[in-house]
Amino acid sequence: MLTSSKISGGINGNVNIPGDKSISHRSIIIPSISNGFTEIDNILLSEDVMNTMNAFRAMGVKIIKNNNKLLIEGKGLNSLTSPTSEINLGNSGTTARLLTGLLSSQNFNSILIGDISLSKRPMDRIIQPLEKVGASFKSNDSKLPLEIFGTKLRNINYDLALPSAQVKSGLMLASLNIEGTNKIIERNITRNHTEIMLESFGADIDIKKIENENHIYINGQKELYSKNIFVPSDLSSAAFFIVATLINKNSLLKIDGININPTRNGILKALNMMGAQIKVNNKRTINGELIADLEIKSSDLVGCELDEDIARLMIDEYPILSIAASFASSPSLFKGLGELKIKESNRLELIRNNLDKCGIFSEIEGENLFIDPTKKSKFKSNKIDTNFDHRIAMSFAIMGTRLGTDLNILNSEYIKTSFPKFVQNLNAVGGNLTE
């Protein structure tokens, strides 16, 4: 259990944010099916990413860990070997969906399993489009455990109406091993890390933007060739520190090398709408990803209304944005949050329930979340229920830095799935967390 207490001196200094989790997963998957050696710098070595690494080790890939770097020796698209046992993915939904795509077109069978939380998450969104092109699976009601019967697939021609980078990436990874041209129409733009990395590794990929859609074409069975990767720091992880700085008086924080990819920078747009003082400095591009240095100051926040479109750019950041909204001077309305119901937990309900415990009025109407910090209510409980969700745990740890009452964050050990040094790093810049 983690206890978060009010701070008095503000959040100040410089903080190092670990490598981007989404890019870290892909930095293991794509080099493992390429030709040659890839050195990966600043990779996030959280439990989720370590599970991805162990999955590929189980399929015969040589991966050497040296401090915060990895060296991967890839031997081509069809170099993976059949694992001798089930592949345990722990809590990582990203790995589960991406590997389902990749392994569906291999020449061996495999079984994916996960922890209690991952085993409740739906896999039908990636299973169904793959079954349409000949993939074969055996699942627990479209959930893990998932047995994948690797086989030769027909060409993919899929209209992806659902805004999911995981499904899109799973289909793209399957396409790599399918002869001929594969097409994915992305109607709602999502994070594009897979496309960027595949292109840099020499995949035969072409992306045509037609009005507000992306039409992605991949010619399969073209070998990839390795190159070194530097993983930029994770904006999703930085968001906790950004909000802590904004809501606490006398705070000034600098964060360098943050990934501000325009397909996932919605949290910065939302906070700017709320009056946040955030300077974006020294923009540059590394490995096709846009990064920058951020300077954040204490701010008098106001509420805002966000529509469904911005949710696609920041769905993972709504728990911590809800904390910012709790200390604004006016109400906020966040629309189109249905995806929060099928994350590591039902995040939407957990946000509402835990805000209520903290005396913050909020309500859910359909897929919309309304937060009104001007409606005073009684503090009800200092026990924060996370349901094993790392982002809920970190968000309410930030709530505790301002609230005035100690918050006890239950099942806080799940923070290690994405941010192993969260407590250490927050305390180093003024936080007051105890384990």
Rounded CA-CA distance 316/369 in Å is 14
Which residues, at least 6 apart from 128, have a Cβ–Cβ distance to it below 8 Å? Answer: none
Q: How many C-beta neighbours within 10 Å does residue 142 have?
A: 15
- Which residue out of 115, 316, 372, 385 is catalytically annotated? 316
CA trace torsion 104, 418, 63, 58 (10° rounding): -40
Question: Can 316 be counted among the known catalytic residues?
Answer: yes
Rounded CA-CA distance 223/211 in Å is 31
Q: Are 239 and 317 in contact (CB under 8 A)?
A: yes
Rounded CA-CA distance 376/399 in Å is 16
Task: Name the nearest CA neighbour of 219 among 282, 155, 267, 283.
Answer: 155
Structure tokens at 21: 């989790």
Query: Is residue 135 helix, strand or coil?
Result: coil
Which residues, at least 6 apart from 24, have a Cβ–Cβ distance to it below 8 Å? Answer: 43, 44, 46, 49, 52, 231
Backbone angles phi, psi at 347, to 5 degrees: -60, -35
Q: Which residues are catalytic, by number?
A: 316
